[in-house]
Structure 1
Amino acid sequence: MSLSKNEIDYKIVFEAIQKPSLVLSNDLTIITLNLAYQKSTNTEAKNLIGKHISEIFPDHPKIGFKKETSTNSLTTILLTEIDSVPFFRYDILRPNGIQEEKYWRMSTKPIIDNKNEIIYILLEIEDVTELVAFKKNYPSQDKTTNTLLNRLFLLETALKIRKEEIQELDEVLELNNGFNQKVLTEILDYKYAIDAADIVAITDQKGIILHVNDNFCKISKYSREELIGQDHRIVNSGFHSKEFIRLLWKTISKGGIWKGEIKNKAKDGSFYWVRTTIIPFLNEKRKPVKYLALRSDITHQKEIGEDLVNSEGKYRDLFENSLVAMFINNPKTRKTIVVNEIGISLFGYKSEKDFQKNYEPEKHFENIEDLEKLEKAILSTGEANLDKVALKKKDGTLFWAKLFSKLNTQKDAVQTVLVDITAQEKIYTTLKISEEKYKNIFSNTLVATFTTDIETSRITEVNDKGVALFGYQSREDFLKNFNPILHYVNVKDQETNIVILVEKGEASKIIEMKRLDGSLFWAKFANKLNKNNGIAHISILDVTNDIKFQEELEEKVVLRTLELTQSLIREKESNDMKSNFVSMASHEFRTPLTTILTSASLIKKYEDYDQQELRVKHIDRITSTVNHLVSLLNDFLSLEKLRKGIVNGEVASFNLPEFIEEIAQELDSVIVLKKQHIEYNHQGEVIVLQSRKILKNILINLISNASKYSGNNMPIEIHSIIISNTVTITIKDQGIGIPIEEQQKLFSDFFRASNTGNIKGTGLGLSIVKKYVELLDGKIYFESQANKGSSFSFSFPQLKELA
């Protein structure tokens, strides 16, 4: 029986399929198998044809082939998606007698005749041994990354197998007329198999399409009628150069097999990638008469590869542009694998290559015990954290750092993050010296000095003079047993002292007191209250002797002592403020400075003319961030001026409603960004005699807060009224409000409510507002409810009295 040319072509094509493949009958008996399968499994076709599939894969975990349940096994095969079938082990006996451990994954495709009945089954086997080994050796902590690596690795493994197994077809087989029915059946099997396995097209020697299979139509979205008679320019994406196409034709026109990856364009305009093998069919003169193109869809693999490249670039950019030193070392050799620019600069090296070659940890640790402690912790727990460690630069300069190291899962690399805290250490040392200085003044002053919690009346600190004055044995004895009621001759004197202190912030009075032994003495009190923390500082001078004759002299001594005490208080408050500012600055400045440095770094990269928009974007971001930093510093400087009493407001007569409307217009450019609007009304007279500057600062601060802590499209209400020579202004919002348990601290320095979240602020605004209101001889009060909004009102005289 003679075979047609097409049937011969399909046999050749089936033998050229890259994946190991078998063709089964509908009772799961092996009809034929390709060379790739024989090579991968070290078997021969003659030993397998005619056998049941269960004899080949008896231990497949998903399908469970059994001869007696062929129908069920067939159904299971056909309904099983390739991605749902797990890997299974099927070892290979190599010619050298060694049993090789192998893992496989199976996919199936039915071959349907014109009656829509299954006549054959194409079974493809995929070697995933390297993927299984990869998963065992490199378990991922991130599920998404693991899945991505899994799929990419699987695709790369399949590519490797295809490259290894594809054999160049040098000539078209010529068959004689003596083939019998069995050979014809085998050829038909190849034809069905190749149609189901790949994207197939056959062209003449000029590239005109003669035949395409269903897979070609499906991926290109063209019908067979639209493709036949066209050349491959119909799916040309324009991605590849003319030189690329020229070399392709040069190869196949000389009878060579061309292999490569091509980007095509479908009918709907979408793009897809195919891995392509073009095989020329030669005549008796070894000239091409037809070309067979076998393609497989690799679009998803390409997308995954691009995602990985982008992801790797993103994380490398974060590493290289980090604001802290980062490097990775080999734990066995201590040699540096990689280091970022901050790390190179911090240790004083010239380049990454210089760092990698010359960095030796023992040369950079001031105390070798710290290095030993670090390495011991890494070996025992996998990580180490040193809050403060003394290190040396390459030139010997000492610096302080906070260091965190962690060993990776494979235990072949130690990742280290190092933060330079030298500046913080200098500030801390300065504050510590100042604290010791004033602690010494406190302990050795010539008068009894105490600190008291005004709410509990509990003494929290006392110097030696105070212990001796009241007759206690020691400081500890005093703090444990001192009870004010036991030492006041008239208990009401204590109550009066506290009332005056709370109302005025300070008090000075001569009171008769009792010692622990009951003896009486006259004490002159000088008290001052720190309203921010509720602590009263008390100086007591014993004025019993010559109280009448030496009162004037002792008054001077008391005043001098009070000055020293107040100086101590001011210095302590200043130190507290500096400490709070350092804390606030380290928190509030870090993110803006990071934004500035990152944008500045990125601007350097945008050198081309067409990247002007990106440069402007980052310049605007830097400008916005700098304005925010200036606002933070202005708050701090305003508070400092108010504390020192150097804020002067020139008094003038002006129209209050017009003044408020002017301020509202100034702030309109800010609140319009959140689509907010101001609703203002006024009652009563309109003329006031006050400081426009101070009143403007108050209104801008309160209106800005109302906008900042309110959502988009929310109104901000402003009411003003002048009645009985008193001005009252109210600013009301519908924002996040203030938790009731935190409202008593609202006007404290550096206080921010717990529900402010990521909203920027220093915690100084309302403290500054309160002090400004007091300069107007006014009072401020508020009402607030969490998640419903706040209403701030302040009152002051309509006409300020001129000094």
Structure 2
Amino acid sequence: MINNEKKEQRFFNCDYQPLREKNKTVAGIIVIFTEVTEQVLAKNKNTATQKKLTTELGIANIELAFRDDEKGKRALELGIANTELAFQDDEKEKRAAELIIANKELLFQNGEKEKRAEELIIANKELAFQNDEKEKRAAELIIANKELVFQNDEKEKRAAELIIANKELAFQNTEKEKRAAELRIANYARSLIEASLDPLFTISPAGKITDMNNASVNIIGLPRDKLIGTNFFDYFTEPKKAQEAYQQVFAKGFVADYPLVIKDHKLTDVLFNGSVYKDEQGNVLGVVIVARDVTAQKIFEKHLQKSLKEVSDYKYALDESSIVSITDQKGIINYANDNFCKISKYSYSELIGQDHRIINSNYHPKAFINKLWTTIANGKIWKGELRNKAKDNTIYWVDTTIVPFLDEGGKPYQYIVIRTDITEQKRIEEELTKAKVVAELATTIAKEAQNKAESATDTARNAVKSKQQFLSNMSHEIRTPMNAIIGFTKVVLKTDLSEKQKEYLNAIKISGDALIVLINDILDLAKVDSGKMTFENIPFKLSASIAAMLHLFETKIQEKNLVLVKEYDNKIPNVLLGDPVRLHQIILNLVSNAVKFTTAGKITVTVRLLHQDEDNATIEFAIKDTGIGITENKLENIFENFQQASSGTSRLYGGTGLGLAIVKQLVEPQGGSIWVESKIGEGSTFSFVLSFQKTKAEAELVSDIMELDAYIKNIKVLVVEDMALNQLLMKTLLDDFGFECDITANGKIAIDKLANNTYDIILMDLQMPEMNGFEATEYIRNNMNSSIPIIALTADVTTVDVAKCKAVGMNDYIAKPVDEKLLYNKIVGLVKKSAIPEEQKSDLKFDIKQIRYIDLAYLHRRTKSNPALMMEMILLYLEQTPPLIHTMKQSFQDKNWQLLYASVHKIIPSFIIMGISTDFENIAKKVQEYANTQQYIGGISDMVLQLENVCVQACKELEEELNRIKSLT
């Protein structure tokens, strides 16, 4: 019941239908009213009411005539029509009036959508107004078409078209028209089937294919005529499973998302959907099957599983080899692996939820920590070394990489922290830092070697085995000039000299020999520290040895206006058995200290016999000065390493504080003792006592005459040496031997000489410009196929050069300073050997073992021998190293020192990972040093070549290892 404006009661039947948008959402409701007021109020009608309605109708028509605006006029017309409707007596007239009202309401609509909805209402009213069946069906068709226009969704539209087609079919009068309509319906149905991109089948209840779309033909790969009437289940790899799914359609009326695999030429994975379809009487005609191809989805899932497994494997490898933790953006720990717990001594539960500062050692300055946080907060990776503290307060060092994970806005939401324990490396660095001080002692022996000694000690701080490289550098730099000094001294001693001249030259020779031995012992720190110093027991004249040593200091003493007093006990036997070289070292250190710390007064060297018997003589040596003296509290520790008279002594006077420690280690192993007496401002007296065996033998004298074997007279020698002084020395020595010689300045010239002349032997220096000794030897052996004996002349007698000499095919080597007797014997021996008949040479061939440059033990430990990770690391090295080598060579040729430094810096870390000898790592660091300072540029060429050779060989070996690993996986 509804009340109108006049509060009258009106009665209607209401029909509600939803009004939808294109996206199927409900936009409103269509309400169709059918008024039944007349039926309800029929019994209450009277004449007064009819008169009242007549009056109202007249008033309304008068109002209509007076309306000015169209909208107002139409509203009024609508009111009149409703009034007329209420006034009708006849049912047919009443429906006609309703239709007029509906049309007026239609005109009154403003929007297109409202207008269409109203047209639909009108159509329904017209339908109700029809008298015969034909008119009624025509009206239904009009309504269906209007509903079609009103549809928003494409699928709904097609369904509506199908409904229209059916209505048209029903409306046909003749059989021909009906069949044409049926054909249109079939075409509509076919369009719907073919519109599907997924395979679509219609299957009979017996399981036979009755129809399908083109997508079905494509996926199975058979033509339509071959498929019609065949058993649908035969196209699956599991026919029974497919039939079970088909039966479920009949049991449930449908089946959805049932996975099957179609047995086509490539085995396609599909999702199986089905639903029954029936005729007008409800009889089941068959099943409509839709099968969606999910092959791509399956492949994606397979790749996803593989990727997840790889990620899991990488995580496992990372957890096993590294210390890993994850924090949120505030540094709160939410993950820690077992290695983290182990090194920090905290349990997993103790770490989770804690601030990362729980392991902070408060070692690093605030600015350092602020820079770290600024870097990662800006989304950048931070790398560096951190000093942390464990739960039990033990300190450990870690090489750390912090990687921020960023959200969609580019802001970090968590950090993953990967660490490597480098505590042991830090401990070694500290030890090597102390070793730096040792190098300073060498500066008091050879000023020329000072810069190189400091450079070598700098290298020592950064390498685990830097002592070997330090020895190599110092040996080369000091032995090279000493070769000329000692060599020419021996040459001059063979000439006519006065006794005074001979005395001075002998002092130079003895001192030079002592200096070489002293340098060897100082640089060989391991020998001194371990107490493994060896001592000779040969006849020598003590008085001559003392005199020779003191001659070294005459010039320095005169420069400082000091007086040197020598007090020698004549009761001491003339010749004793002992180690004169070690005695020289002891006296050298003690007198050197006396001269250094004395600015005025005198230095007295006293040698006296304490007692003797038939076999031994005990002698006391005392070196007294009038220098600065030593405080009493320092006397007890003065013979320990790195000890000096006061904290300012090193700054004022220089030195390392190792001299007295070396003296003590030389005295005590010989059964002697040493002590000191001193007063501040008055001076010091260092005394030591040694026992020597007595002997009737004479002191060993070096023969000036060498007997020449008649067989090897007229030997022709090719000398390859770039230093003019050494060229002259070698020519002088060889002339004295009675040998012929040609001199060349580098390997390239030597090869030209050898190609055009005949020589019996080659003396080959190692470090030369253009072509060094290693390159020249390789060329002679490999390109010229010559077996001529080659002796290396080297100032570096470390294992690195010796091994390389053998590897390139050199027969022997001799160290600088060259000992003329040793040189003569080696030349004669090798020339004799080369003259042996060919059939006997096989027993004398030099055994050259293949040297392997890589050692993958470290890589195995880091990767837990995981083949995938090892291959990845090796491939990375093989990819990156050749371009770095090319850049290194090119930058050296272009004299681009900054680029040279950078390229070598990138090569060094791979030496550790691939187990390449640290000797080559030290060579690389030396190249960096020279490139940085732009000093000793001439020495870089050979080192760059060595680095190239070792990297090329390492690449070959790594390629072999890579193939080996691949064959095992």
Please tell me the TM-score bracket, short chain as reference.
0.3 to 0.5
Larger Rg: 2
Relative to its length, the structure with more strand (as a share) is: 1
Q: TM-score, normalized by length of structure 1?
A: 0.40
